Copies of this chain bind each other. A is one copy, B any other.
């Protein structure tokens, strides 16, 4: 382990400079205007994989943004780890809330602030640097494959096809992903599950044009008012989702599972203080971290209609819209939920407006096994580098592709994330602690060591 620490110490600055280079690309996959930047990011990642020592590096074209592939086969008889990550990032808006520009990484008290610092550039790049380290110090104990995509933030629409078409090339014993969080550096943890996702857009149309709210107010339905009523009806008084059948496939946790989650060293008061809210909100009967980790949710991600400019316009709008997404838990199906939502929303639409529901994207929930060799290797690696056994947790986020890997490739995943919930993922001022970055680079080679050793037994 000493030679790992030494190598990181010697190359600390360069490893950071390279991350900065990566973070300067505004690789926003959701917005077409960033297309050239997203493509340049893919080229950069490919270059860095080659530099680190990967063979057969390829920028694999898809119907959307390319997947960057690279591999190092030390011995076909040895086990193989497939590293997954994504080089695309969320849109940076609202821009005005950033303290420093989202695509000009800045270090403030030991943290690098930039869009993608944690999600997922900072985290997948740890694997590139850990790979370099293992190559340079001649301690890569097994085979490694990289699959870094550019559409995770928009639903990985084309990765499924890529995986189907590259089953042989992607053959591996485990998929290793760092795109999740730990409770804290004092309380290292390993996520054992992810929520699925169903993301839709709804558009409510009232009159065929914007109207004078005085001349027509009271005579015709206001689509913004109706949209509000429709959205309001989607949660009941216990903040449960009021879509018939929504919970039918949810498997309730065992008392033991609930106990484990509630024993995790979380602090509701710190949590409230960090978010600046007086009270938390959520489904009655579940603790905060049961709700985020193990219960499905429905959130309005965006809403708009009518006049939203300066001053006052007395208009009765023609249309009002909302982006709505649901997080799903194990045994729920994105497709089923998308249909349930759509049917319900159309069903509750009153006759004086028209509604259009457009699915954006979805993903299936997953639970990762905690009894696998790979999971045990991750536990040992973290215990060794942090000096503490990791706590198993359930993550609230979604990496839709994980379920697909399992279905298509028959490979389980290990979620060895080094981020923090408070890293402002998808928010202004996204950050990643340099401590976590280097700690990740230090921990990853230990995973390879233990995984290879345990596999040999």
Contact = CB atoms under 8 A, between A and B. Distances in A.
Contacts of A320: 300, 303
Contacts of A97: 209-210
B314 A206 contact: no
A90 interface: yes
A225 B303 CA distance: 9
Nearest to A419: B215
Q: Which one of A217, A322, A361, A429 has the greatest number of beta carbons of chain B within 10 Å?
A: A217
Interface SS, A side = loop
Interface in A215-268: 215-222, 224-225, 227-229, 231-235
Given A91-B307, A361-B312, A231 B221 contact: no
Q: How many copies does the complex hold?
A: 2
Contacts of A93: 307, 309
A299 interface: yes
Contact of A299 (B291, B297, B316): B316
A157 to B, nearest CB: 11
A300 B206 CA distance: 13
A355 interface: no
A137 interface: no
A427 B303 contact: no
Contact of A212 (B208, B228, B427): B427
A215 B295 CA distance: 12
Interface stretch (A7-15, A279-287, A432-440, A449-457): A279-287
Interface string A396-422: 111000000000000000000000010
Contacts of A427: 209-212, 315
A26 interface: no
Contacts of A127: none
A66 interface: no
Given A231-B225, A281-B352, A301 B220 contact: no
A220 B307 contact: no
A155 B311 CA distance: 10
A197 interface: yes
Contacts of A207: 275-277
Contacts of A425: 212, 215
A91 B228 contact: no
A327 interface: yes
Contact of A303 (B181, B217, B228): B228
A352 B282 CA distance: 10
A217 B155 CA distance: 18
A312 B220 CA distance: 31
Contacts of A233: 232
A327 B213 CA distance: 8
B352 A278 contact: yes
Contacts of A316: 299, 301
Interface string A177-191: 000010000000000
A289 to B, nearest CB: 8
A154 B317 contact: no
A341 interface: no
A219 B428 contact: no
A227 B228 contact: yes
A345 to B, nearest CB: 13
Contact of A218 (B232, B305, B327, B428): B327
Contacts of A220: 275, 277, 280-282
A186 to B, nearest CB: 19
A214 B195 contact: yes
Given A219-B281, A421-B215, A32 B310 contact: yes
Contacts of A278: 351-352
Given A217-B396, A219-B291, A306-B300, A428 B210 contact: yes
12 contacts: A206-B277, A209-B275, A215-B292, A218-B283, A219-B271, A224-B322, A232-B233, A281-B350, A301-B313, A312-B360, A313-B426, A314-B398
Interface of A: 30-32, 90-91, 93-94, 97, 154-155, 181, 195, 197, 199, 201, 206-222, 224-225, 227-229, 231-235, 271, 275-283, 288-289, 291-292, 295-297, 299-317, 320-323, 325, 327, 350-353, 360-361, 395-398, 421, 424-429
Which 6 interchain pairs have the tightest Cβ spacing?
A: A208-B276, A214-B397, A30-B311, A221-B281, A302-B306, A232-B232
